[in-house]
Chains A and B, each alone.
Chain A
């Protein structure tokens, strides 16, 4: 998909769909949205749909940061306390490293 050749309404619609799609536990989609439309939203000369695209990008970015924070916290907790949790830790684990307590 080449954004250059899309009319502005389509760009807006695409950006909006990516933004809405990200609510289905898809922070990666928000990341793609931000990276893809960043130039469109902030580095291009203004056009009618741009403010809306900007707002979608900002909201996607906020959602992304939130998810990253949540995931980082969870991963840190898990990695640190996994051994201590005993059975629950094993139940939650997909792979259990060998050779450590």
Chain B
């Protein structure tokens, strides 16, 4: 039951471009706000409307999708600047966000790979499986194994679809308390139970004696401060760090408990599902986003990674957005181009982190050396770049999983089967290229 929650928790995510301020820009914002007062008033309504979807982006449980919800700044650019400058500004806008996303994704993957390489617990195969992958993989028969992994994948995907639909229904009928409670329960489980397991394994690996009182203090502090930062108010950096840690923990659980071949098939299937769910008009995620936009409300505490904290996310508990704050936010968004316009924060859902890390982690497990791992890492980052590029072009919700996972899978299998034997025989024959 709890794993079900965790699964849903980890799975749903959303990537939106968001013109929230980054902390470094705060000084510039203040001066920019003063400068921008008059020019922005006429366009207030336009930007106001466009700002609202962004507030509702606080929903974190959507399967990966990315979108640019604030076309306002970009459009203003076009109106006021010559083309060359406009392109440059758009690119600058995009490039900074790419970097802002690279860092947390990289950190998450580094944590996962470091753990996999050092703590053997997560690579030991157990007979325990998640209930979502009930079919055992028999290593003897290839056909049987393939069939079982496909069946496992179908079970898993149907679980995800059901969970997403339940979530959409709950949201449509405004059962916010239920969703809220669900999220809190999931994060409680992650922050306390999984980190306890993780810590135990790390101590065993490094042969360190640990006593219960100290351990209880550590887990208690870690968990409670995590809950506070994520669900209430806390420093931005700490919140980002906690989200990265949670994603890493979740990815490690998946790496441990998903059977070998099922994991790969599941990764592929999830990307396809993501594509369908976000882009098709009848997709549950799209419906969810549209419902949220219609209602113009922020939903519940965001477990989305936000590169720049929008304080709206912090107040996501209120179902009636304060109009004063909306205005403030739109003013932020209407910042002048001349001053650093990069008020955009990029939001990436936790599920993205998790699946990217699962891919790289599995590459680290099964791949013999670092080539495969690095290849997958590079592939995912390239995919992320491309997705953000598409985001800037299309300016709507886009799934962030498909491109990266496809590249990752392609790179993994080709490196494992082509590059590695090649490198090995080169090394054996002492050829250096």
A residues at B contact (CB < 8 Å): 1-2, 4-6, 14, 21, 24-29, 32, 35-36, 71, 74-75, 78-79, 82, 92-99
Contact = CB atoms under 8 A, between A and B. Distances in A.
A93 B212 contact: yes
B217 interface: yes
Contacts of A98: 207
A62 to B, nearest CB: 18
Interface SS of chain B: helix
Interface in B47-89: none
B200 interface: yes
Contact of B204 (A5, A6, A71, A95): A95
Contacts of B234: 1, 32
Contacts of B225: 26, 28-29, 32
A26 B224 contact: yes
A92 B23 contact: no
A1 B236 contact: yes
B311 interface: yes
A101 to B, nearest CB: 12
Interface of B: 21, 23, 26, 200, 203-204, 207-215, 217, 220-222, 224-225, 228, 233-236, 238-239, 309, 311, 314, 328
A56 to B, nearest CB: 15
A32 B77 CA distance: 39
21 contacts: A1-B235, A2-B23, A5-B21, A5-B311, A5-B328, A27-B221, A28-B222, A28-B225, A32-B234, A32-B235, A32-B238, A78-B211, A79-B209, A82-B211, A93-B209, A94-B211, A94-B212, A95-B200, A95-B209, A97-B207, A97-B209
A65 to B, nearest CB: 16
A75 B221 contact: no
A4 B209 CA distance: 43
A34 to B, nearest CB: 12
Given A1-B233, A78-B209, 11 more contacts: A2-B26, A2-B311, A5-B26, A24-B224, A25-B221, A28-B225, A35-B235, A71-B214, A75-B214, A93-B210, A95-B210
A79 B207 CA distance: 13
B200 A94 contact: yes
Contact of B208 (A25, A35, A36, A95): A95
Nearest to A99: B207
A8 B225 CA distance: 23
B236 A92 contact: no
Q: Which 5 A-B pairs have the closest CB atoms?
A: A28-B221, A4-B26, A97-B207, A95-B203, A94-B210
A99 B200 CA distance: 18
A88 to B, nearest CB: 11
A6 B309 CA distance: 13
Contact of B228 (A6, A21, A35, A99): A21
Contacts of B228: 21, 29
Given A5-B311, A94-B215, A26 B210 contact: no
A33 to B, nearest CB: 10
Contacts of A95: 200, 203-204, 208-210
Contacts of A29: 221, 224-225, 228
Contacts of B328: 5
Contacts of B221: 25-29
Contacts of A92: 211-213
Contacts of B210: 93-95
A29 B222 CA distance: 9
Contact of B235 (A6, A24, A25, A36): A36
A2 B211 contact: no
A99 B37 CA distance: 70
A25 B228 CA distance: 15
Contacts of B309: 1-2
B207 A74 contact: no
B224 A71 contact: no
B224 A4 contact: no
Nearest to B235: A36
Contacts of B239: 1
A27 B224 CA distance: 11
A26 B292 CA distance: 37
Contacts of A6: 311
A18 to B, nearest CB: 8
